[in-house]
């Protein structure tokens, strides 16, 4: 899906430009012009393999987007804005768009979202799961238990943990190696560590968390079946919320049992 921007800059750039709403021709035209700096329809057509007659349409599209300037001569000459300017332009536009989306969605979001008592929700994909975990961290008020394999303990998670700790949430971390424990202790002095509840298998591990004894999440990495080893879409999780939620009840039982055993209050 996404090419390496250093290995194959052409393809990578074209890919992104198309994602940002440009037509295939416009994307390839812009990439061609970027490496040329400046050129005619003919030049562009040769390096981009866009039919010469359609370069003009592509240029129109790019000109309207402010990515290409036109020299009115014969033959017409086209000039692509610099890589830096182009990126900045897109960045601004997309920043603006996400802001629009944010206010629009915020506007129509109901005041209070019902917290589900029954049932267990599923999330797929590592980024999506991480996002959910971050939400949970952010909503923690008193206690936060997080058990994970190290590869899933990323910078942003540690950061969010730190913030939770700052507002007085008691953090309990498990499953991390001795070396990493050191580092965590530095960044989040308030955190307490505990040993893995069981032998945390390397193969199909995941995360396990509980927030304030009323929100829980369990995830597993699903390598091997039909997902590559480092495929970000290779994690699947379930979570539940509410005091009487079945998943919550089960996990709370386990956690309280083991944690109390290790460090009795």
Which stretches of the chain bind DNA, using CB under 7 A?
23-25, 40-42, 50-54, 56, 74-76
Residue among 63 and 252 whose Cβ is closer to a copy of itself? 63
The least CB distance from residue 50 to DNA, in Å, is 7
CB of 75 to DNA, least distance (A): 4
Q: Cα–Cα distance between 176 and 181 in angstroms, integer?
A: 6
Q: CB under 8 Å to 105, separation ≥6 — which residues?
A: none
- What lies within 8 Å, CB to CB, of 111 at 6+ separation is none
- 228 touches which of a copy of itself, DNA, none (CB within 5 to 8 A by kind)? none
Which of a copy of itself, DNA, none sits in contact with 76, Cβ below 5 to 8 A by type? DNA
Ranges of beta strands (E only) in the chain are 38-39, 68-71, 77-80, 121-124, 143-148, 170-174, 192-194, 207-211, 215-221, 235-241
| Biggest CA pair distance of the chain | 85
Instruction: Compute the least distance from the CB of residue 153 to DNA, in Å.
Output: 34
Tell me which DSSP letter residue 214 carries: T
Nearer Cβ to DNA, position 25 or 146?
25
Q: Which does 25 bind (CB under 5 to 8 A by kind): DNA, a copy of itself, none?
A: DNA
Answer with the entry of a copy of itself, DNA, none that 168 interacts with (C-beta below 5 to 8 A by kind): none
């Amino acid at each position: 899906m996404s090419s390496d921007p250093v290995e194959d800059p052409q393809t990578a750039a074209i890919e992104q430009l198309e994602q940002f709403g440009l037509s295939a021709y416009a994307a390839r035209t812009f990439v061609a012009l970027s490496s040329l700096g400046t050129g005619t329809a003919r030049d562009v057509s040769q390096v981009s393999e866009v039919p010469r007659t359609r370069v003009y349409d592509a240029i129109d599209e790019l000109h309207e987007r402010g990515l290409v300037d036109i020299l009115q001569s014969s033959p017409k000459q086209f000039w692509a804005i610099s890589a830096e300017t182009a990126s900045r332009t897109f960045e601004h536009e997309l920043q603006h768009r996400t802001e629009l989306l944010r206010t629009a969605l915020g506007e129509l979001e109901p005041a209070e979202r019902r917290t589900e008592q029954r049932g267990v929700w599923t999330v797929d994909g590592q980024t999506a799961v991480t996002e959910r975990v971050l939400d949970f961290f952010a909503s923690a008020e008193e206690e936060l238990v997080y058990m994970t394999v190290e590869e899933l303990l990323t910078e942003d998670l540690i950061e969010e943990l730190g913030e939770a700790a700052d507002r007085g949430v008691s953090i309990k971390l498990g499953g991390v190696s001795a070396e990493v424990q050191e580092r965590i202790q530095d960044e989040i002095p308030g955190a307490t560590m505990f040993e893995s509840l069981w032998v945390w298998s390397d193969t199909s591990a995941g995360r396990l968390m509980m927030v304030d004894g009323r929100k829980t999440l369990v995830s597993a990495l699903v390598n091997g079946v039909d997902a590559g080893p480092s495929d970000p879409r290779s994690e699947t999780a379930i979570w539940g919320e509410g005091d009487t939620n079945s998943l919550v009840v089960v996990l709370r039982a386990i956690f309280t049992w083991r944690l109390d055993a290790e460090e009795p209050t």
